[in-house]
Amino acid sequence: MSNKETYILSLDAGTTSERAALFNQEGKLVGQVARPIKQIYPHPAWVEHDPMEILSTQVGVMSEVLVKYGVQSSQIAGIGITNQRETSIVWDKNTGLPIYNAIVWQCRRTADMVAKLRRDNIPDLIQKKTGLILDPYFSASKIAWILDNVEGAREKAEQGDLLFGTVDSWLIYKLTQGEVHATDYTNASRTMLYNIHELAWDDELLELFNIPRSMMPEVRSSSGDFGVLSPELYPGSLRITGVAGDQQASLFGHCCFEPGMVKNTYGTGCFMLMNTGDHAVSSQNGLLSTIGIADGDKIQYALEGSVFIAGAVIQWLRDELKLIESAQETEALALEAKSTDGVYIVPAFTGLGAPYWNPEARGLICGLSRGTNKAQLVRAALESMAYQTNDIIQAMQKDSGLSLSQLAVDGGASVNTFLLQFQADILRSELIRPEISETTALGAAYLAGLALGYYKDKKSLLDLHQTTRIIPNIDEEKRNSRLKGWHEAIKKTLL
């Protein structure tokens, strides 16, 4: 590797692993390293991570990627951080040590605390101010739990000795040796304590959850100065200049800069974000409103929806039904089937999410006949990912009044070209699959690079962005009859 070339180092602190990736000025992925982190389950439905392990693993992969690809720290133009969102860490500012493990976004320990808040106008108030739905998923109740359950925590918090941060803030604080206690707009918008219209921590919500304001990090633009890595620990004046939560980083990495653009990540579940421009939409369909893009002074909002069971239905075919040996087989099988002949799988294993919202619903397979075969069931499972995605995108369009201008896709299942073609057909919209599938890390790199002039502007990012297009190719009648069948199947799960 040439000594003159410089790179953006992207740190991706995910739910299951810490990654470090290098991107060059052409926006190409030059190299990456990932290491898993331990999942801690102290009780059923409780999920924790060790904040020190997050830090040491992240620092480890950061050094490893430089060594592995022969890059010196002087060749790093800047650092971008992206992270699992909502996961909450509280630490003592005198010692720099966490007072409890990180409580992970998936953790349901505060379900009772949150249920008690479902009274009066509290859920409405929360939705109005934060765009979120009152739920244990977000940081607020997790912070409150730590203050209520760790001995001496409340007292220390009231004396101003404790600090809170999502994983980005924790890493920034530790990497700068306590110089910077900050987060970015996108991460702040997932705490349920941040007023997304006024762009400020909300005193009424802090009071509701009994959280001292002194704990909260300063909120900054996603593209800008987040401090220099402590020179004693990390020589080379390494500067953090980009920060965003993982889904928002991915939206940025897909260059979804215009209202109406949507990105969908097809993983275990699906995560969708629609750029709604300067308008924070109040959803009538149970979608979340959040800060989507915050690279400058102008905030762009987003609507967010998720499919609970997407790629997981393929895992179910493999692990429970033993119909297939690997997810890779599904594409050939689906193409072999040609049609499901009216078979639908609704994988409502954990209830139905947006826009139906029925936690009691359970999955079904319908339309079976004597001739139904394995290939058709596999095809129906893949199609279910596309139908569920379509349902959410229709809800997003209805809520926002915007029409879908393009769907950018990534995630493990997005390698399946049958799935993408079927998705394009059902949506009647073009799909865009980027050449670099690590859009989360790429988004953080774009944000960091823009702040430094390493990437000139958003327009130049669009020029760098290499994609494949998938064009809809179905007649209207066929599409309508398939969608009709899907909605009938949904109705059956709701009985």
Q: Is 221 left (phi over 0), alpha (psi -120 to 50) or beta?
A: beta
Which residues lie closer than 8 Å to 354 by C-beta, 6 or more apart?
285, 286, 287, 305, 306, 391, 392, 395
Among 94, 149, 315, 466, binds ligand ADP (CB under 6 A): 315
Q: Tell me the CA distances in angstroms from 72 to 2, 4, 7, 183, one per residue in order.
A: 10, 10, 10, 27
CA angle 430, 432, 77 (to 5 degrees): 155
Q: Which two tokens stand for residue 192?
A: 């349920």
Contact 406, 400 (CB under 8 A): no
Residue 72 Cα to chain centre, angstroms: 31
CB nearer to ligand ADP: pick between 330 and 390: 330
CB nearer to ligand ADP: pick between 94 and 315: 315
Q: Which residue is nearest to ligand ADP (CB)?
A: 412
* Residue 237 touching ligand ADP (CB under 6 A): no
The site string for ligand ADP over 274-313 (x = CB under 6 A, - otherwise) reads -------------------------------------xx-
Among 314, 361, 426, 450, binds ligand ADP (CB under 6 A): 314
Nearest-angstrom CA–CA distance, 160 and 403: 47
Count of residues that interact with ligand ADP, criterion CB under 6 A: 15
Among 30, 113, 415, 464, binds ligand ADP (CB under 6 A): 415
Q: Find the shortest distance in angstroms from Cβ 267 to ligand ADP.
A: 3
Among 154, 412, 417, 452, binds ligand ADP (CB under 6 A): 412
* Residue 166 touching ligand ADP (CB under 6 A): no
Nearest-angstrom CA–CA distance, 14 and 410: 16
Q: Find the shortest distance in angstroms from Cβ 286 to ligand ADP.
A: 21
233 burial level (CB within 10 Å; 0-12, 13-18, 19+): exposed
Contact 444, 81 (CB under 8 A): yes
Among 32, 82, 241, 416, binds ligand ADP (CB under 6 A): 416
Give residues 249-268 in contact with ligand ADP (rule: CB under 6 A): 267-268
CB nearer to ligand ADP: pick between 195 and 414: 414
* Residue 20 touching ligand ADP (CB under 6 A): no
Contact 223, 244 (CB under 8 A): no
Nearest-angstrom CA–CA distance, 403 and 393: 9
* Residue 82 touching ligand ADP (CB under 6 A): no
The site string for ligand ADP over 317-356 (x = CB under 6 A, - otherwise) reads ----------xx-xx-------------------------
Q: Which range binds ligand ADP by CB under 6 A, 47-55, 152-160, 356-364, 409-417? A: 409-417
Comparing C-alpha atoms, which of 453, 338, 348 is closest to residue 6? Answer: 453
* Residue 464 touching ligand ADP (CB under 6 A): no
* Residue 417 touching ligand ADP (CB under 6 A): no
Q: Which range binds ligand ADP by CB under 6 A, 185-193, 241-249, 411-419, 451-459? A: 411-419
Nearest-angstrom CA–CA distance, 58 and 29: 18
Helices (H), 401-472: 417-427, 439-452, 458-464
Comparing C-alpha atoms, which of 196, 396, 200 is closest to residue 278? Answer: 196
Q: Find the shortest distance in angstroms from Cβ 227 to ligand ADP.
A: 29
CB nearer to ligand ADP: pick between 273 and 312: 312
CB nearer to ligand ADP: pick between 115 and 335: 335
* Residue 219 touching ligand ADP (CB under 6 A): no
Q: Which two tokens stand for residue 364?
A: 């079904």
CB nearer to ligand ADP: pick between 264 and 416: 416
Question: Which residue type is seen at 477?
Answer: E
* Residue 411 touching ligand ADP (CB under 6 A): yes
CB nearer to ligand ADP: pick between 247 and 416: 416
Q: Tell me the CA distances in angstroms from 75 to 1, 189, 227, 447, one per residue in order.
A: 11, 33, 18, 18
Q: Which two tokens stand for residue 351?
A: 């209830």
* Residue 440 touching ligand ADP (CB under 6 A): no
* Residue 381 touching ligand ADP (CB under 6 A): no
Nearest-angstrom CA–CA distance, 406 and 408: 6
Among 352, 413, 436, 448, binds ligand ADP (CB under 6 A): 413
Q: Find the shortest distance in angstroms from Cβ 437 to ligand ADP.
A: 9
CB nearer to ligand ADP: pick between 109 and 379: 379
Contacting residues toward ligand ADP, per CB under 6 A = 267-268, 311-312, 314-315, 327-328, 330-331, 411-413, 415-416
